[in-house]
Amino acid sequence: MSIAVKSPLIAQLTDSQQAKLTSAGNNIAPTWPLDKMIAVNPFWQMREQPIEQVSARVSALDRIQCLMPKGYYQHLYAQGDISQHALLLAAEQQEVAMSVDQLEAFLDQADDLTHFHNIADLLDNQRDRYKMAWRDEIIHQISQFCAAYYQQLRPILPCRDSSAQPDLYCHWLEVTGRDRGLSIIMDEPGLLHYFKQLPQDAPTLLAEAVAELGIDDTAIESYAHALLLDINGWASWVAYLRWQGDLQATPSDEMLQLLAIRMAWELVIWRYLKAQQADSFIHLAALWMREKDQLPHLLTQHEQAQQPLWVWAKAAELSYQHKLNTQLLNAQKHPITAPKLQAAFCIDVRSEVIRRALENQSDDIQTIGFAGFFGLPIEYQPHDSELSRPQLPGLLQPIIRVSEWRDTQAQTDTLNSKARWQTWSQAAPSAFSMVESMGWLYAFKMLKKSFFAKQTHNPVNALTHQKSWILRKNDQLLSLTDKAELAKGILNAMGLSQFSPTVLLVGHGSHTTNNLHAAGLDCGACGGQTGEVNVRVLAQLLNEQDVRKALLDLEVVIPSTTHFVAALHNTTTDHIDCFDTDIDPVLVSWLTAATETAQRERLVHISPELAGSSAAELDRFYIQRSNDWSQVRPEWGLVNNAAFIVAPRSWTRNVNLQGRSFLHDYQWQNDADFGVLELIMTAPMVVTNWINMQYNASVSDNVKYGSGNKLLHNAVAGHIGVFEGNGGDLRIGLSMQTLHDGQKWMHQPQRLAVYLAAPREPIEQITAKHDNVRWLVDNQWLYLLRWSDEGVIERYYQGQWLPQAA
């Protein structure tokens, strides 16, 4: 066995190389931890590019699919969900000169595209099939290390060199240099020596790898991006830490460290083969030269090859939009002038069903759609606890900290013990280890959960059931003026100027048991928590007499007869629980009837064989389902989301939107400077794009952007994310059970159609003012449509208004 001698030459990255490697890392979008899980557009960091280019890029670099297979579109076409008219229109808009016959024939053609192969891939193509694949071991080794490195309890030891600042690459090199099992697992004697010869810092490693592997400036960014996509789950976690650092003004970016680890593997096996297997290395070098030469051309080839498929994808979207346009334009407006009950719900698509069910009870009911955090920029910290959690969208940083007035040390101790127990006992993989450790007593508890399920609660949520709250900003109590201004801003954004005797503020949350992704079913606008804290705090704020008096000076009048009531919509059972005992029995009957109606409507997608059941039987069924620890599909969440409608509710009240639309109330005549419209277009519209694209990507490529089979999930470091099984990359996105019922997809991947009931000019100005909005619109990450007072729908795209057919 020969051992290569480390080169004495110290390589250094050029400014251009450094910039391109950094740019590659900036392509990775963040993923949030399990306890704060929110939906994220996995292509968010590339939003400044057209979606077709991004799709081609990730396809060429890592076989990632942003579009569905050809057979999927054939099926939609055959059953009439794609019209021939929409197909021709899509071809025209995509500037693809193909006839209907040619487009149909395209779906029957086999794909023969080539993809980029890194060094590990090239070696695996000629490797003995009885040996461990290089790619599999690389991903597994890096992933296991990252899981240990980022865990909060018992972190691994820092570098031996205490004078150096410990970092991700340094830790990895220290740990890997001691791992004698690598040579054995790979059946490559002496492999470990090559790890010991690597540079001690990430910049030098990157420079050596780029130089030795012959990566020129035309390929370096794409090559680095491809390597990060290999370990996209952990790259996404590093991107989350970077995101949080930017939010908190404490910049921290370990993406180049992670890239150095992945590139170190490439360099090691390159050097190993060169020294140990000369003949194989000659073949590898020739293959590698070809891969580098064709890399810039691959992106163009994939973009051209995908053009007809984008026509089919757009045709499906246009077909849906044409049907929705017809519904919207033909609907009779239904204004409510003097309601006895107003109920403000989150814009979440699940709220559309329960809002419609509630409104159908009486013309005395008016519902309102608003972002689920209700405009409160808060984080919740239980009294006398170090724990705090955000209750607002992941795009924002909390400004106000809220705590309940009363708490006891006993409650705090109980919270801590319950949290430790649940961290261990509620994780999916731990059920059997709990039996082994705790004995048959815990096995009996598992059986009891199976046959006598009952509701369980997050221990933190148990502390939120309070009526009195303390609000602090910069560790100072909010002044009366601060409270009044906060209240005015929220009421203005909600469009509330006339008040009914009772105003329900309805947050939402899901209830599931033994579900690692439970936070993903709660309120994304509340940071992956329920909206209970937000509605309780806002109800207290708006009911305070001193605040109401201060609001008078701000020209906001809330009648003394108006009472705000905090409530929570359980999206699994469709129960609406009011946190106030003094509720008119008539209102209670309306809420009960709405629950029954919504439960029956959702039954078709949950358990259609129960259609003949009574209301009481259905209610017991939904409650049992929510408490069943073995239930893999407790609810369907936000599947099939397709539209975001920003308009007066009176315009859509008579339309059955089938739980596919986010609904935000907006009356442009009351928005003098269009500040509310700007807020909607820069916040809720972005959040709904994140939700829509997460669901789309989890369906089109569940291997890369979904989390696979939830039955195999193992929690990583308690809260970071999940492995599918006990290895592989960190899995992000949604599980198959969240998206597929075992026979068909429950979510149809299509880009979000945003309808704004507003004049042209402010839409144009806001789009031009904000890069994020302009990129989403002009690069076709969503459709921006204007719904005029005159009953016309038109699309705004790249500075032009385009008429839309109905």
Average pLDDT over the chain, rounded to an integer: 90
Q: Which amino acid is at 668?
A: W
Q: Which neighbouring-strand residues pair with 476?
A: 473
Q: Which residues in 177-213 are b (16+ Cβ under 10 Å) and which e?
A: beeeebbeebebeebbbbbeebbebbbbbbbbbbbbb
Question: For 646, phi and psi rounded to 5 degrees?
Answer: -110, 95
Question: Secondary structure of 300-326 in the HEC alphabet?
Answer: HHHHHHHHHHHHHHHHHHHHHHHHHHH
Residues contacting 34, CB < 8 A, separation 6+: 516, 517, 519, 715, 719, 720, 721, 722
Tens-place pLDDT, residues 713-733: 999 988 999 999 988 999 999
Q: Taking residues 532-559, what's their average pLDDT?
A: 96
Which of these ranges, 12-26, 45-59, 126-140, has the smallest mean pLDDT? 126-140
Q: Taking residues 790-805, what's their average pLDDT?
A: 94
Tens-place pLDDT, residues 766-796: 999 999 999 999 999 999 999 999 999 999 9
Does pLDDT of 421 surpass 90? no
> Would you give the DSSP letter of residue 237?
H
Query: How far apart are the C-alpha atoms of 122 and 131, rounded to whole Å?
Result: 15
User: Domains of the chain: which residue ranges?
Assistant: 15-64+114-304, 341-628
Residue whose token pair is 């952007």:
705
Does pLDDT of 6 surpass 50? no
Tens-place pLDDT, residues 300-330: 999 999 999 999 999 999 999 999 999 999 9
Residues contacting 794, CB < 8 A, separation 6+: 785, 786, 788, 801, 802, 803, 804
Q: CA gyration radius for the chain?
A: 28
Tens-place pLDDT, residues 106-119: 999 998 899 999 99
Q: Taking residues 396-423, what's their average pLDDT?
A: 62
Percent of the chain surpassing pLDDT 70:
89
pLDDT band at 156 (very low <50, low <70, confident <90, very high): low
Tens-place pLDDT, residues 357-367: 999 999 999 99
SS3 of residue 683 by DSSP: coil
pLDDT of residue 734: 97
pLDDT of residue 252: 87
Residue 745: name the closest of 68, 24, 60, 179 by CA. 68
Binding residues for Zn(2+), by number, are: 346, 348, 508, 523
Whether the CB-CB separation of 346 and 525 falls below 8 Å is answered with yes
pLDDT of residue 384: 72
Tens-place pLDDT, residues 752-763: 999 999 999 999
pLDDT of residue 445: 53
Length of the chain: 806
Does pLDDT of 123 surpass 80? yes
Whether the CB-CB separation of 675 and 727 falls below 8 Å is answered with no
Residue whose token pair is 């890399």:
295
Query: Would you state the structure tokens that stand for residue 597, as one six-digit string?
Result: 């109606």
Does pLDDT of 464 surpass 70? no
Does pLDDT of 371 surpass 50? yes
Helices (H) and strands (E) in the chain, counts: 31, 18
Tens-place pLDDT, residues 564-584: 999 999 999 999 999 998 899
CB atoms within 10 A of CB 763: 22
Query: How far apart are the C-alpha atoms of 463 and 394, rounded to whole Å?
Result: 23
- Ramachandran category for residue 65: left, alpha or beta (phi over 0 → left; psi -120 to 50 → alpha): beta
pLDDT band at 101 (very low <50, low <70, confident <90, very high): very high
SS3 of residue 556 by DSSP: coil
pLDDT of residue 385: 75
Binding residues, by number, are: 346, 348, 508, 523
Query: How far apart are the C-alpha atoms of 167 and 200, rounded to whole Å?
Result: 11
